[in-house]
Amino acid sequence: MVALGTLLRRSRAAGHVTLMGVLNATPDSFSDGGAYAAPDAARARVDALLEAGADIVDVGGESTRPGAPAVSASEQMARVEPALRHACARGARVSIDTTDPEVAEWALERGASIVNDTSCVANAELARVAARAGASLVVMHSRGAMAAMPGFSTLDDGAYADVAREVVSELRAAVERARAAGVSADAIAVDPGLGFWKNARQSIELLGQLDALAELDLPVLVGASRKSFLAQARPAAVGDRLGGTVAACLAAVDRGAAALRVHDVAPVRQALELWHALGSR
């Protein structure tokens, strides 16, 4: 299978933005917790994502919302198994959203080909697991476990002097850790981690300066879907943030993103196709 970095570069060069569809097999994720916990619902969600045009199915069994408790490896595996098996059986490219090396190894052995690491390679063993399996790795920026984050888009304004510059620097160090663990450069994509240890102002500023990540010379994946910072300009409940999600996705692609992690695949794909037809970058 083509490595993620190579896939994203080729796709973006061809004018195609890769969409990673979200499947939270959890009872407590911020936007759809519990909706896909049952095996039949999880399998139906896989089918819906693929039919809507998802290029990758991202399956996770542990919520990353602020204050979410840690989930054991065995529980994560039990939660994601129905969706993972079904997606792989359908021939989908599957990503496992976990920071646990045991879960990652288990998922890769069962057909996943990408590890989506939301910890910024805090545990080098996770990268070593990906390297041993010849899998790809998404390196997402974060400054700690989300269980310790104060709340949604809640962080002191002084946490960053220059959010874009600091995120780039910290992602570079994380990528170096991944490379030292054996992950090849063409198998890596980076994610700025919007909302992860960032308040709304910081996330918006980072999105606006996303092109700063170009100096890393790696494909960029952005996850803005339904996040709380989208309601900064106009307050909206989680289920009412599709407009903000689409706007953030278009802004990300305009600033160089090659992939987007989204819940609502069909509307985002529609917006991207029209945007492209209108002669966007």
Which residues are tagged catalytic? 227, 261
Report the alpha-carbon distance of residue 35 to residue 225 in Å, rounded. Answer: 17
Say if residues 80 and 107 touch (Cβ distance below 8 Å): yes
CA distance 269 to 54: 9
- Please state, in angstroms and rounded to a whole number, the distance separating the CA atoms of residues 223 and 57: 14
Per-position b or e across 31-50, b if 16+ CB within 10 A of its CB: bbeebbbeeebbbebbeebb
> Strand pairing partners for 96?
59, 115
Cα→Cα distances 219→11, 189, 222, Å: 11, 5, 10
Residue showing tokens 């966007």 = 280
CB atoms under 10 Å from CB of 245, counted, come to 21
